[in-house]
């Protein structure tokens, strides 16, 4: 029988995320994995990365997911709880927690192997959603990863979106295409449908082109907005971002930093944007916050460990090297 780790507080989450978080093993050094004597054990998942990013900035966040009834599941629950998230984790006694292993062949390039087929997270189902959680939140954030995991996971995302739309909760959707999970054709159909139901859509340039056809960033953003979302942001990496918000076009340059690790930058971007959106900030402030957050996380290794707290962001431009 499944066990449930209950939420700390159903009433106090501005944002709820739904998705799979996995255990993560990564080397501390660069080189072939078969010559790496030690791997660091941690966790990672697109939706929980966003939730942690929001929580650190001061926006309360909840995470809903399914983990195995094993030590790796314990690790995930412990880490997310320690970050202050409202954790609703179904413990699956019949499937293991998913695992990903990283290999860093060069300082800025890495490969990832996923061991998630048949994982607890892939067995996520609509009944795992706590009653009233989505409806009581201000934003539901989902990604294109979760519906790619299984039919039941896709159904869970669909149910969460249905509940959000019925209750007036804002739907935020990051395309987050993973070629290892599904084909471009299948992903395009599913992600276009989710984008049409979302209020806020985030996509990389390649992802946007997959959904609406190739073109300049401004055209990609406009064509994505034509699917129905009032806010569309095309993430452009070191070029910053281009957005169409309420039919108006915006461009925001990136912030230049010395990059250590780009993994997690997209999730940090989303967290920065949503945090300022919920504060009622204007569009330029939201986009600047997004690129600042993304730049900051690139300064540290790891998927989410380098996510900043609100006061940390000033360090990007602070001239005083030592603070006393």
Distance of CA 93 to the CA centre of its chain: 26
The radius of gyration of the chain from alpha carbons, rounded to an integer in Å, stands at 19
pLDDT tens digits along 89-147: 999 999 999 999 999 887 778 889 999 999 999 999 999 999 999 999 999 999 999 99
Q: Could you report the per-residue pLDDT of 242-277, keeping only the tens digit for each? A: 999 999 999 999 999 999 888 999 999 999 999 999
Work out whether strand 22-27 and strand 99-106 pair parallel, antiparallel, or are unpaired. parallel
- The answer to whether 9 and 130 have CB atoms below 8 angstroms apart is no
246 annotated active-site: no
Domains of the chain and any CATH numbers: 3-308 (3.40.1190.20)
Tokens of 205: 């340039």
User: Strands 241-245 and 231-235, how do they pair?
Assistant: antiparallel
CB–CB of 140/169 below 8 Å? yes
CB-CB contact of 254 with 237 (8 Å): yes
Q: How far apart are CA 154 and CA 168, in angstroms?
A: 21
Give the tokens for residue 238: 């070191």
Instruction: Kindly report, residue by residue over 162-193, the tens digit of the pLDDT.
Output: 999 999 999 999 999 999 899 999 999 999 99
Following CA atoms 211, 217, 222, 228 in sequence, which dihedral angle do they give, to the nearest 10 degrees? 40
| pLDDT at residue 324 tops 50 | no
pLDDT at res. 7? 52
Instruction: Pinpoint the alpha helices (H) of the chain.
Output: 46-57, 71-82, 133-136, 146-149, 151-167, 184-197, 205-212, 217-225, 265-278, 283-297
110 conformational bin, left if phi > 0, alpha if psi -120 to 50, beta if neither:
beta
Q: Which of 128, 199, 267, 303 is catalytic?
A: 267
Does the pTM surpass 0.85? The reply is yes
For 276-313, the pLDDT digits (tens) are 999 999 999 999 999 999 999 999 988 999 999 988 98
Residues 191-208: tens digit of each pLDDT:
999 999 999 999 999 999
């Amino acid at each position: 029988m499944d066990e449930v780790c209950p939420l700390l507080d159903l009433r106090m989450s501005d944002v709820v995320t739904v998705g799979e978080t996995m255990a993560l093993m990564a080397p501390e050094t660069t080189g072939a994995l078969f010559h790496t004597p030690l791997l660091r054990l941690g966790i990672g998942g697109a939706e929980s990365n966003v939730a942690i990013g929001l929580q650190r900035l001061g926006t309360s966040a909840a995470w809903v997911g399914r983990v195995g009834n094993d030590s790796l599941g314990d690790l995930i629950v412990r880490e997310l709880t320690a970050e202050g998230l409202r954790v609703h984790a179904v413990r699956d006694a019949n499937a293991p927690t998913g695992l990903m292993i990283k290999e860093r062949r060069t300082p800025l390039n890495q490969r990832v192997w996923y061991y998630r087929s048949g994982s607890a997270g892939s067995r996520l189902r609509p009944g795992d959603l706590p009653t009233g959680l989505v409806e009581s939140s201000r934003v539901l954030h989902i990604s294109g990863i979760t519906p790619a995991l299984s039919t039941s996971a896709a159904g869970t995302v669909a149910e969460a979106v249905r509940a959000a739309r019925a209750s007036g909760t804002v739907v935020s959707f990051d395309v987050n295409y993973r070629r290892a999970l599904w084909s471009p054709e299948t992903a395009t159909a599913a992600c276009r449908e989710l984008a049409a139901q979302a209020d806020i859509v985030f996509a990389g340039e390649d992802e946007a082109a997959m959904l609406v056809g190739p073109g300049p960033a401004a055209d990609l953003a406009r064509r994505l907005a034509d699917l129905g979302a009032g806010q569309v942001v095309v993430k452009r990496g070191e070029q910053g971002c281009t957005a169409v918000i309420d039919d108006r076009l915006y461009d925001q340059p990136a912030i230049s930093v010395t990059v250590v690790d780009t993994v997690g930058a997209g999730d940090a971007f989303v967290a920065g944007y949503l945090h300022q959106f919920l504060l009622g900030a204007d569009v330029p402030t939201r986009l600047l916050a997004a690129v600042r957050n993304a730049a900051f996380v690139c300064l540290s290794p790891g998927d989410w460990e380098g996510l900043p707290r609100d006061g940390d962001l000033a360090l990007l431009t602070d001239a005083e090297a030592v603070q006393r």
